[in-house]
Structure 1
Amino acid sequence: MARIGILYSHVMKAAEKVAAEGKNPTVDSVREALGGTGSKSTIAPLLKRWKVEHQESVVAAETGVPAELLLAVKGLYQKLQADVGLQLAQASEAQRIALQGAAERLEQSQADNRNLSQTKLALAADLAQTKDELSQLRAEHHSGAITLAGLESDNAGLRARLADRAAEVAALNQQLAQARTQFEHYQHATAAQRTEERQAADQRVARLEQDLAGARQHGQIQQAALTQRETQLAQSQLEQDRWREAADALQGDLAAMRPERDQLAYQFKEASAAGAALAGKLATTQTALTEARIALAGRQHQAELLGERLRQAENKENSQEAARLTLIEEKAALQAQLASRKR
């Protein structure tokens, strides 16, 4: 129980006295200044009230700093508090503007990502279509190559047949030339032999006539010799007839070979025409194959361009995604800074 008469005013005066002496006003020092009266339980709350109301004096007493200096420091502290509050408000506004800009950039990045996704889908569809067309062109190219190989094989076969026919015609022409040469040689030999035989016969007749005129006594011998000569002449005539029959047979063979030669010439002409037609068809096929190769190269180049555009779109999409993540991280950092400053 506090004694009656210990009031706040008493404690206030005692505390001011202790503080004026440069001491720290404590419960014991104030009780001593009161003359040792009053309980600590009564003085303590009253002294606490005084310290709250006179913080400058308490601090000055505790630290040994003058009250005027404490007031100046307090004013400076309050000014710093105001400046810090203003800077915090400005920083909060700047952070709000930065967050709003980051949100707008994030929204724009998301819109760009959606556009890039649509562009990517369109490019993927174009690439798939181009790949289908490329597959069709490759199939057509393969079919054309197979057709060309077949035509080249047929052309080679016809050329081989044509070469065989030409060789046969050349062989027949050579045989015909040989037969003509043999026939001409036979005609010349037969004519020379007949001329020689006629000359010999004329000479023999002249001699026989001379011998007949000069010596008839040898008539029988000469007659026998004449008979022998006539027999030889008959044999020569028979041999000449055989040569003539052989020549006629050769002429018949030559006449029989002419239709075959004409047929071979006609076949050679037809084979030449077929070869020319095949050459034209081969040239047309090669032209179509060249055009298909050019179209295939164009499609491949277009596919490469589409692939490059697709890769660029993917790279741009990755860049947009990285920028979006960076903006999200910046936003989170700004929000964390704002939260720490508010605290």
Structure 2
Amino acid sequence: MARGGINKALVMRARQALLARGEHPSIDAVRIELGNTGSKSTIHRYLKELEESEAEQARGAVALSDELAALIAPLAARLQGEAEETVARMRQQCDAERAEFEARLAEVQEQIRLLEEQAGSVAAQLQAETKRHQHSREQLQQAEVEQARLRQANQDQAAHLKDRDEQVRSLEEKHRHSREALEHYRQASKEQREQEQRRHEAQLQQVQMELRQLQQTLILKQDEVTQLNRANERLASENAYRTQELVEQRERLERQAGELAALHGQLVQSHAAKEVLQERLVLLQSEAGELKATLDTQRQEAQALHIGLAAANTELQLLRQAIAGEQERARQASEETAAERQEDF
């Protein structure tokens, strides 16, 4: 009898526990699993019986296992072939859709690049027109300043001419007074002509000399007035020329403003086209995401098929184990029946 109260069932449970942990069911390992009880010879005998029993069960299950394998192998091969065919078809479809999407994406990117180049060119033209507009505006401001200066000079010349006119009128007034004084002197000299003839002649000569000086002064003033009139005419001509230049510059500015507005409209259209292309790019990216999601779903379905195949293999193994258990129980029942018959005899 085995010492320590061990039996075959305890040895079998200890052996199964070691196998479940992935350990080799040696005599010492089984004895340690049993709590260091039982003799090694008894454990060795029980282990040998268990190994022989498993070998017999394996030999008995070979025929049924081969038959089940022969039935399941075509089904498994068919499932594997259908799964691989489905995966290949889905992969080809996905590659075609990916190639089409990449071609469309490249086309859209090329359109975006062309629009960006066009927008850059329009922006450069707009900047150049803005600089020309600024330069024309500065020229207009300079022309306005020059016109204001000429207007002020004209006003100064007019004031100067007015002063000259006042001086001429003053000289004429003096000349008139002189003539009146001369006439009065003549009237007075009639009464004293004989007594003051010489003094009268001397005074008359002096007055005539002063009159000649006044006339010469008047002639000089008239020459100055003529020169001032000529200068005024020249300034008026220059003012008219400056005014004509100012009108032409304003017309050029108006034309440049119209061209600038047209370029701005083209830039707005370019931005609108760019936004439309960007929206199309977003839609294409969304479609790409949907295609990717479809591909992921198809991959998940293929993985599910693989998992189903693995589950079928697992069920096959479990079925084999169940058949082996049934055969073991049938063998044990036959052994018990045989033992009972021997006891009866």
Query: What's the TM-score once normalised by structure 2's chain length?
Result: 0.64
Cα deviation digits, residues 48-71 of structure 1 (max 9, x gap)? xxxxxxxxxxxxxxxxxxxxxxxx
1:155 counterpart (133, 136, 147): 133
CA distance in 2, matches of 1:316, 1:229: 126
CA distance in 2, matches of 1:99, 1:211: 162
2:257 counterpart (261, 274, 279): 279
Matched, 1:122 2:100: yes
Instruction: Specify the alignment match of 1:18 in structure 2.
Output: none
Cα deviation digits, residues 153-186 of structure 1 (max 9, x gap)? 1111112112212222222222223222322332
CA distance in 2, matches of 1:206, 1:291: 94
CA contact (8 A) 2:171 2:218 kept: no
2:113 counterpart (106, 124, 135): 135
| Map 1:61-100 → 2, pairs under 5 A | none
Q: Which amino acid aligns with 2:260?
A: L
2:223 counterpart (225, 242, 245): 245
Cα RMSD, aligned residues only: 3.0
Pick which of 136-145 and 227-236 moved more.
Answer: 227-236
Runs of 5+ consecutive residues of structure 2 not aligned to the other structure: 1-63, 322-345
How far residue 119 of structure 1 moved from its aligned partner, in angstroms, is 1.9
Query: What's the TM-score once normalised by structure 1's chain length?
Result: 0.65
Pick which of 238-247 and 298-307 moved more.
Answer: 298-307
Matched, 1:234 2:212: yes
| Map 1:32-71 → 2, pairs under 5 A | none
SS in 2 for 1:217: coil
SS in 2 for 1:245: helix
CA distance in 2, matches of 1:105, 1:229: 141
CA distance in 2, matches of 1:145, 1:196: 75
Aligned length: 253
Matched, 1:312 2:290: yes
Instruction: Specify the alignment match of 1:255 in structure 2.
Output: 233
How far residue 126 of structure 1 moved from its aligned partner, in angstroms, is 0.8
Q: Which amino acid aligns with 2:242?
A: L
1:210 counterpart (188, 192, 195): 188
| Greater Cα radius of gyration, structure 1 or 2 | 1
Matched, 1:290 2:291: no
Instruction: Specify the alignment match of 1:181 in structure 2.
Output: 159
CA distance in 2, matches of 1:312, 1:186: 96
CA distance in 2, matches of 1:201, 1:101: 145
CA distance in 2, matches of 1:159, 1:200: 60
Runs of 5+ consecutive residues of structure 1 not aligned to the other structure: 1-84
CA contact (8 A) 1:113 1:320 kept: no
